[in-house]
Structure 1
């Protein structure tokens, strides 16, 4: 069991809710939802019952349907069937993969109102039409999103807690780490980009140190996602598949904006809207929307027709790039790691940064402006919102530029600051170099993205 940041969020829910709500853990398949829920139950409760709706027999489903108005009978059935003694206010029920039995999700209202036990749900594709038809979503349900492991969690898994702490301290102090630690962190971040943040992939890497073996795990996950698209994609499944397959090609472009014409000469946004929604709700992609007029309320100025689509996990993106091969060897991965094989590193770096931001709770926005006049033409990779010390700690827009090479210019960032001066807070450049501070512009090594 790897240390995950979401664990503290689960503890907060238990303490603050005190049985008045159930908690839904949403996320893509194989990000570790079931594992963290069961680990939490073992550590924080006297007993627990995990009901995996993929395996639960029909008799368990029937008991839910028949005894929802007779909870004493329902709890007796579950206690005896699963061989677990129940303790009032100290037993947790986990409804695993609850989208496979939506009735259990709708039953949360009565179960929470009863007040004797706590309830947690895990699920993927939770908001897809097929999984919410004919049920009432309970208002007593809170939700928390779970993403693949970020770089800091990757370091924890590798036993590099001291390096993780040093990175946090360096960021807080605004002081660059020593060359020894900087080089080590940079090398591990490159490893992380290739392995990715899926727990199974990381586990295989730690067991074997063989990227080829890791690639096999990632291919299995991608096959699982393809099966989900086929099974749950409904009328949009062909369009969903086209978008998902097209992501590497779109990210390899200089501007990285998703161009619908690549899907077909007559492709239109209204035809593909449901497909993008499906991929977003399934956590397979991280959409980054264009904010046309950057203010603190970025969503108020969101342009739905202009977006960038990142893969939910950069390790999966790497495997998808080489999908034309039946197998990607450890040697090929090592050549990429040490810069011996030419690959679009900018695509991987920007995807990895987007992954860190989503895991940190940020919605993804960027700023793009085309103009015939060069001084107005600019592209900002990401826009974050943060408190700004030079504005009495009021929230300001924080532009972020991502650089994959050590030689670069910050022309767009300079233009953005000049154009929106009073709205702009700290500016960030993420690059493969040590930290340095220049006024209200902070140059950070790529491995510090999770600190923002």
Structure 2
């Protein structure tokens, strides 16, 4: 099976080489490649790999019955399977599907103190159990979140070298427009990425076959798997409400005003009744939430209204998979995005920002039509980010930059189908550069 190179590959090597490394917890939604990446690393880096999967082999949930000391857990594992080898300094213990037995996190402290064996834990929906895991292992673990592939990893899958990001970034930093061949090539690849999303199984099928054949079926199966997770793991919450919110995201993103309206989900719905449902979807990694700022100024944290938000799918392939058959055919055959054009590009930008650890905020002024899609920040400046399905610059972006009312805003960013350029303190970039924004902001002098 074709292995898709991931950024976590280099991270895992660096983690092992760190002299005093702690047990590692790899978080992320289901089927983004956590287990595959960890096992590939483990087999190359350790003489012995002990895999404990708490879903496939639930009997191993009993290994903590005698307590959480590493010696007791190893003894119980050996009793259940004497063939598992524990070689001091040369063994990785991999606890997979941690969400099925989050209690094992209590043992991480003892494994760290013991020091003889490396430990990696992984599982889906860990955000749901985050408080329990944190309280059980605070100070004795390292966290890493794995998402589906970003556009850089997609380019690797298509055969581009690891230097491709630096090549593209140089264009941004030096304001050097791409030539026609570059624009057409990367724009076409980016549209394919938008249609596919970044789920490894979908991307692998596309790369191996060279066409979209079979990818829609995989996307729709992933959607069903996520819905099944909601039914299985949304304990103590109204699962029907969570599913209703999930199912309404595409239609609400297709509107010009993309603020999520609960009244469209259920007549008379109140935010307080749905707060837990929204949080569950976000904590599970299925959905990204973009919160409305009370006012566009620094600091951003604490300056938002949690009751006003937009919801995006964490992987754009899920949005694509939920479109009707007619839209699907038009999209894959004719590359026509139709009424979902704005929704698709906003979702893919929200996904790109999240994957490079930029929190999502938007702004809508009550007493005017002023609305801004996203914001990013540097140490000293707040930059509004406009996502344009068409050419041109929105009035809101120009107003935010030019008005004395917003002193933290002096520059703006625009992503569109166009090329690199700068005008009136607005820096324009093609959509396919969205994954580079954080790296660009680190080097830009705003």
Question: SS of the counterpart of 1:66?
Answer: coil
1:293 to 281, 284, 295: 295
How has the CA–CA distance of structure 1 residues 409 and 426 changed in structure 2, closer, same or farther, with 3 Å as cutoff?
closer
Alpha-carbon contact 1:215-1:328 (below 8 Å) kept: no
Alpha-carbon contact 1:346-1:404 (below 8 Å) kept: yes
Alpha-carbon contact 1:34-1:96 (below 8 Å) kept: yes
Alpha-carbon contact 1:212-1:333 (below 8 Å) kept: no
Q: How does 1:260-339 map to 2 (within 5 A)?
A: 260-322=262-324, 325=325, 331-337=329-335, 339=336
How has the CA–CA distance of structure 1 residues 304 and 72 changed in structure 2, closer, same or farther, with 3 Å as cutoff?
closer
Q: How does 1:415-430 map to 2 (within 5 A)?
A: 415-419=399-403, 420-430=405-415
Question: SS of the counterpart of 1:107?
Answer: helix
Partner of 2:42: 41
TM-superposed deviation, 1:57: 5.1
Partner of 1:396: 381
Could you tell me which runs of 5 or more consecutive residues in structure 1 were left unpaired when the two chains were aligned.
387-393
Give per-residue Cα distances to partners, 1:180-216, cap 9 Å, x unaligned.
1111000111110001100000011112233241001
TM-superposed deviation, 1:133: 6.8
TM-score of the aligned structures, taking structure 1 as reference length: 0.88
Partner of 1:368: 364
TM-superposed deviation, 1:171: 2.0
TM-superposed deviation, 1:258: 0.3
How has the CA–CA distance of structure 1 residues 226 and 268 changed in structure 2, closer, same or farther, with 3 Å as cutoff?
same
Give per-residue Cα distances to partners, 1:44-70, cap 9 Å, x unaligned.
434322211112251x33333236447
Q: Distance in 2 between matches of 1:380 and 1:90?
A: 53
TM-superposed deviation, 1:118: 1.6
Alpha-carbon contact 2:288-2:351 (below 8 Å) kept: yes
Tell me how large the CA RMSD over aligned residues is.
2.5
Bigger mean CA offset, 9-18 vs 413-422: 9-18
Bigger mean CA offset, 97-106 vs 27-36: 97-106
Question: SS of the counterpart of 2:64?
Answer: helix
Q: Distance in 2 between matches of 1:17 and 1:229?
A: 40
Alpha-carbon contact 2:68-2:110 (below 8 Å) kept: yes
Alpha-carbon contact 2:254-2:339 (below 8 Å) kept: no
Residue 337 of structure 2 is aligned to residue 352 of structure 1:
no
How has the CA–CA distance of structure 1 residues 444 and 76 changed in structure 2, closer, same or farther, with 3 Å as cutoff?
same
Partner of 1:413: 397
Partner of 2:443: none
How has the CA–CA distance of structure 1 residues 133 and 187 changed in structure 2, closer, same or farther, with 3 Å as cutoff?
closer
How has the CA–CA distance of structure 1 residues 343 and 83 changed in structure 2, closer, same or farther, with 3 Å as cutoff?
farther
Q: Distance in 1 between matches of 2:35 and 2:169?
A: 29
Q: Distance in 2 between matches of 1:73 and 1:122?
A: 18
Alignment length (residue pairs)? 431
Q: How does 1:153-164 map to 2 (within 5 A)?
A: 153-161=153-161, 163-164=164-165
How has the CA–CA distance of structure 1 residues 184 and 87 changed in structure 2, closer, same or farther, with 3 Å as cutoff?
same
Q: Distance in 2 between matches of 1:309 and 1:70?
A: 42
Partner of 1:123: 123
How has the CA–CA distance of structure 1 residues 210 and 366 changed in structure 2, closer, same or farther, with 3 Å as cutoff?
same
Residue 96 of structure 2 is aligned to residue 96 of structure 1:
yes
TM-superposed deviation, 1:136: 4.8
